[in-house]
C-alpha cells in the first residue's frame, strides 16, 4: 500500500514541471549540438581577436597575404557554421552526421551562393519558385532541417530494407530535405529577419529608448539563433547614407555577455568551464566574438539568460535614448569603441550593461543544483 502511494507520488507532475522539462529538453538539444564545436568557435574567435589587435597596432596590414590567409582560417568556422551544425545536430538526434553535414553544405553550394550574391532573387524547382539567400553563418534554417531529417531518418530505417539503407537512406534524405530547406525553412528564417527589421525600424521611429531596450534585450537570443545576421544588413544600409543606431543599441548585449563570462571565469572551480570562459571572454573583449559565452555558458545556465536580457535592455535603452550611433561597420568590442559616437555616451551605455551582467551573475549565481547534478547539456550527461 505504501509502495503504491510512493509510486503514484513519483509519477505525478505539475504542469509547470512538465513545461520546464520540455524547455530543458529543447535547450539541451541546442546546447548539446553546439558542445562539440565550442572549442572550435572559441579558437576561431581568439584568432580573429589576435588579427584585430595586430591590425590595430599596425603590425599587420589587412591587405597582406598573411592576414587574408589567417582571416580565412578564423572566418571559415563561422561561414560554414551550417555544415558543422548539420553534423552535430543530426548526431545528437541519432541520425547520420555525414548526411546532416551534406545538407548544411548544400545551402552553401558555390552555384547557389553566386546566384544569390549576383542579385538573382529566385530559381525554379519542379515549377516551384525558390527564393535565394546567403545562408552562411545561419543557425535557424539548419536546426529546423535537422529535426525534420532526424524524423525522416527514423522512418526510413523502419521501412527500407537493411541491405539498401547504406545508400538509399542518404539519397532520399538529400532529395527531400535539401529542397525543403531552400523552399521552406530558409525563407521562414528570412521572413523572421525581415519582420524583425521592420519592428526595429518602427520602434526606432517611435522611441530610441524603447527600441534600445527591446534590441539590447533580444540581441543575445537573436545571436544564438543566428537571426542577428538578418539585422546587420539594415545597419550596413544605414551606414551607406550616414550613421547607424542599430548596432550602437545592440552593442550592450555582447558587453553584458562578457560581464557574465568574467564572473564564471572567476568563480568556477571546473577547469574545463574556466578554460571555456577564458576562451570566450578574450575574443569577446577584443573582437566582439561571444559565441563561446553564448553557446557554452548562457545556453548551459538558463538563469544567465535573464541576466543577459536585463543588462542588455538597460544598456541598449541608454544608448538608444542618448542617440549613440556607429560611424563605421564593426563588431562591438573594446577595440572598436572609437567607431561609435558620442563616445562618452556610448561608453556609459556599454559600461552599465557590462556592470549589470557582472553584478547580477556575481550576486545571484549562474548555476543551480538541477543544472549541476541532474542535467548538464554542455557535456551531454545526466
Q: What is the pLDDT of residues 238-280, one digit of tens each?
A: 776 778 888 899 999 999 999 999 999 999 999 989 999 998 9
| pLDDT for 20 beyond 80 | no
Q: Is 171 a member of any domain?
A: no
Question: Please, which pLDDT band fits residue 237 given cuts at 50, 70 and 90?
Answer: low
| pLDDT for 5 beyond 50 | no
Percent of the chain residues past pLDDT 70, beyond the cut = 86
Q: What is the mean pLDDT of residues 186-198?
A: 75
pLDDT tens-digit series, residues 164-185: 989 999 999 999 999 999 888 8
CA distances from 378 to 38, 55, 78, 232 (A): 9, 34, 20, 29
Which residues, in sequence order, are CB contacts of 260 under 8 Å at separation 6+? 293, 297, 298, 304, 307, 308, 357, 358, 361, 366
Helices 81-92 & 15-34, crossing angle to 10 degrees?
A: 130
Who has greater pLDDT, 101 or 29?
101
Q: Is 262 a member of any domain?
A: yes
pLDDT, position 321 = 92
Who has greater pLDDT, 44 or 179?
179
Q: Which run of H or of E encompasses 81?
A: helix 81-92
Q: What is the mean pLDDT of residues 79-108?
A: 91
CA gap 211, 208 in Å, rounded: 5
pLDDT, position 185 = 86
| pLDDT for 88 beyond 50 | yes
pLDDT, position 173 = 94
Q: Is 102 a member of any domain?
A: no
pLDDT, position 259 = 97
CA gap 170, 191 in Å, rounded: 29
pLDDT, position 27 = 66
Q: Is 87 a member of any domain?
A: no
Mean pLDDT check: name the lowest of 157-161, 201-205, 266-270: 201-205
| pLDDT for 113 beyond 80 | yes
**pTM, full prediction:** 0.66
The whole domain housing 225 covers 207-382
Q: What is the mean pLDDT of residues 290-315?
A: 92
Domain count, the chain: 1
pLDDT, position 195 = 76
Q: Is 42 a member of any domain?
A: no
Mean pLDDT check: name the lowest of 90-99, 132-141, 233-242, 355-364: 233-242
Q: Is 54 a member of any domain?
A: no
Q: Is 133 a member of any domain?
A: no
Q: What is the mean pLDDT of residues 295-320?
A: 93
| pLDDT for 17 beyond 60 | no
Q: Is 62 helix (H, G, I), strand (E, B) or coil?
A: coil
Q: Is 253 a member of any domain?
A: yes
| pLDDT for 6 beyond 70 | no
Who has greater pLDDT, 42 or 15?
42
CA gap 289, 281 in Å, rounded: 9
Exposed e or buried b for every residue in 104-113, given b needs 16+ CB within 10 A? bebbbeeebb
pLDDT tens-digit series, residues 50-76: 887 888 788 988 889 999 999 898 888
Cβ atoms 309, 325 nearer than 8 A? no
| pLDDT for 12 beyond 80 | no
Mean pLDDT of all residues belonging to the chain: 83
CA distances from 213 to 129, 250, 317, 367 (A): 38, 9, 4, 26
Amino acid at each position: 500500500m505504501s509502495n503504491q502511494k510512493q509510486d503514484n507520488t513519483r509519477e505525478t507532475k505539475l504542469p509547470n514541471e512538465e513545461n520546464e522539462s520540455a524547455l530543458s529538453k529543447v535547450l539541451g538539444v541546442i546546447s548539446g549540438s553546439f558542445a562539440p564545436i565550442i572549442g572550435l568557435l572559441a579558437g576561431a574567435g581568439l584568432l580573429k581577436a589576435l588579427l584585430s589587435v595586430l591590425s590595430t597596432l599596425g603590425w599587420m596590414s589587412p591587405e597582406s597575404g598573411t592576414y587574408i590567409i589567417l582571416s580565412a582560417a578564423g572566418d571559415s568556422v563561422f561561414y560554414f557554421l551550417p555544415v558543422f551544425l548539420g553534423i552535430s545536430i543530426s548526431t545528437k538526434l541519432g541520425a547520420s552526421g555525414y548526411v546532416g553535414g551534406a545538407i548544411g553544405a548544400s545551402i552553401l553550394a558555390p552555384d547557389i551562393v553566386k546566384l544569390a550574391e549576383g542579385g538573382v532573387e529566385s530559381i525554379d524547382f519542379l515549377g516551384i519558385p525558390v527564393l535565394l539567400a546567403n545562408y552562411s553563418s545561419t543557425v535557424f534554417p539548419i536546426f529546423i532541417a535537422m529535426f525534420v531529417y532526424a524524423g525522416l531518418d527514423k522512418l526510413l530505417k523502419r521501412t527500407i530494407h537493411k541491405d539498401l539503407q547504406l545508400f538509399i537512406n542518404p539519397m532520399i534524405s538529400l532529395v527531400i530535405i535539401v529542397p525543403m530547406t531552400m523552399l521552406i525553412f530558409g525563407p521562414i528564417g528570412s521572413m523572421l529577419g525581415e519582420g524583425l527589421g521592420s519592428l526595429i525600424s518602427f520602434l526606432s521611429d517611435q522611441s530610441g529608448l524603447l527600441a534600445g531596450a527591446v534590441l539590447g534585450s533580444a540581441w543575445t537570443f537573436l545571436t544564438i539563433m543566428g537571426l542577428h545576421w538578418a539585422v546587420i544588413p539594415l545597419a550596413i544600409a544605414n551606414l551607406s547614407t550616414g550613421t547607424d543606431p542599430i548596432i550602437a543599441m545592440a552593442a550592450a548585449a555582447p558587453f553584458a555577455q562578457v560581464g557574465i563570462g568574467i564572473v564564471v571565469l572567476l568563480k568556477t572551480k571546473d577547469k574545463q568551464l574556466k578554460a571555456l570562459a577564458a576562451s570566450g571572454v578574450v575574443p569577446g573583449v577584443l573582437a566582439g566574438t561571444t559565441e563561446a559565452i553564448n553557446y557554452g555558458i548562457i545556453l548551459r545556465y538558463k538563469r544567465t539568460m535573464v541576466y543577459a536580457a536585463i543588462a542588455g535592455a538597460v544598456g541598449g535603452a541608454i544608448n538608444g535614448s542618448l542617440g549613440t550611433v556607429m560611424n563605421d561597420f564593426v563588431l562591438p568590442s573594446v577595440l572598436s569603441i572609437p567607431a561609435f559616437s558620442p563616445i562618452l555616451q556610448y561608453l556609459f551605455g556599454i559600461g552599465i550593461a557590462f556592470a549589470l551582467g557582472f553584478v547580477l551573475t556575481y550576486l545571484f549565481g549562474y548555476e543551480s543544483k538541477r543544472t549541476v547534478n541532474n542535467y548538464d547539456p554542455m557535456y551531454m550527461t545526466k
